[in-house]
Amino acid sequence: MFIPDAPDWFRQSGITALIYDPRITRLSDWQPRNDIDPLKQAEDYHDALTFLAVQPMVDWSRIVYWGFPFSGSIALAAAALDKRAAGVIMGNKPLWIPIIAENGTNPAGFCIGSEKEDFDRILKAKALTPSFNTNKAIQTYYRVISWQPFGLMSHVSPMPVMILTAASDQVSLPED
């Protein structure tokens, strides 16, 4: 998910940010489309940090990872695997995968309680980003189910972590 206002918010807040499309999503040209591999995306965070750390306008000791929603867990895992980051800011909003069917159901059985409004939001997102693919590769389901970043949590310490959750989130509860 791309949060369109994020780059402007960071800029207006005086924050230097490197914002990129993770491989296989949005505008990147990786293939196959929407075949999400969290470990490879964590490696992309490491590459981004390496790039930013040598930029003259960047204080490398203040680089943090940011991710929202599912990419929050990827940011946290990236920080656990590479101690160069100064911290992690992550959000935990409901993750709707795969793309929701027109009747509001999730074909893979994820995110019970999806509704027609979710399908309409996806159509609006597609209108904003024509290259947005409404299908997921079958391997994505396996990788998402087997992605267990919580085993890496103890390796994040002593790095500070801020966890953000939506007030009405029924899928990724903060107490989990």
For residue 84, the domain's CATH number is 3.40.50.1820
Would you tell me how many other CB atoms lie within 10 Å of the CB of residue 24? 20
Query: How many domains does the chain fold into?
Result: 2
- Alpha-carbon span 110 to 147, nearest angstrom: 15
Is a pLDDT exceeding 70 seen at residue 92? no
Long-range contacts of residues 48-53, Cβ cutoff 8 Å, at least 24 apart = 48/18, 48/20, 49/82, 49/84, 49/85, 51/18, 52/16, 52/18, 53/84
Q: Are residues 92 and 118 in the same domain?
A: no
Is a pLDDT exceeding 60 seen at residue 163? yes
Does residue 11 form part of some domain?
Answer: no
Q: Are residues 124 and 106 in the same domain?
A: yes
Q: Are residues 32 and 92 in the same domain?
A: yes
pLDDT of residue 56: 94
Under the banding of pLDDT at 50, 70 and 90, the label for residue 112 is very low
Q: Are residues 92 and 113 in the same domain?
A: no
Express as a percent the part of the chain with pLDDT over 70.
Answer: 65
Which of residues 112 and 8 earns the better pLDDT score? 8
Q: Are residues 37 and 88 in the same domain?
A: yes
- Alpha-carbon span 103 to 100, nearest angstrom: 8
Q: Are residues 66 and 29 in the same domain?
A: yes
116 vs 83, 120, 126, 169, 170, CA distance in Å?
42, 6, 16, 17, 17
Range of 8-12, 56-60, 148-152 with top mean pLDDT: 56-60
Continuous segment of H or E residues that includes residue 152: none
Is a pLDDT exceeding 50 seen at residue 127? yes
Q: Are residues 38 and 84 in the same domain?
A: yes
Q: Are residues 60 and 114 in the same domain?
A: no
pLDDT of residue 4: 65
Task: Report helix, strand or coil for 56.
Answer: coil
pLDDT of residue 46: 93
Q: Are residues 78 and 154 in the same domain?
A: yes
How are strands ordered across the β-sheet holding 64-67? 64-67, 87-92, 161-165
pLDDT of residue 49: 93
Is a pLDDT exceeding 80 seen at residue 167? no
Does residue 44 form part of some domain?
Answer: yes
Instruction: Report how far apart the first and last C-alpha atoms of the chain are (Å, whole number).
Output: 22
Which of residues 41 and 123 earns the better pLDDT score? 41
Judged by average pLDDT, the poorest of 96-100, 129-133, 152-156, 172-176 is 96-100
For the chain, the residue count is 176
Range of 19-23, 112-116, 135-139, 151-155 with top mean pLDDT: 151-155
Domain with 103, as residue range(s), is: 98-135
pLDDT of residue 96: 41
Q: Are residues 86 and 105 in the same domain?
A: no
Which bin fits 149, alpha (ψ -120 to 50), beta or left (φ > 0)? Answer: alpha
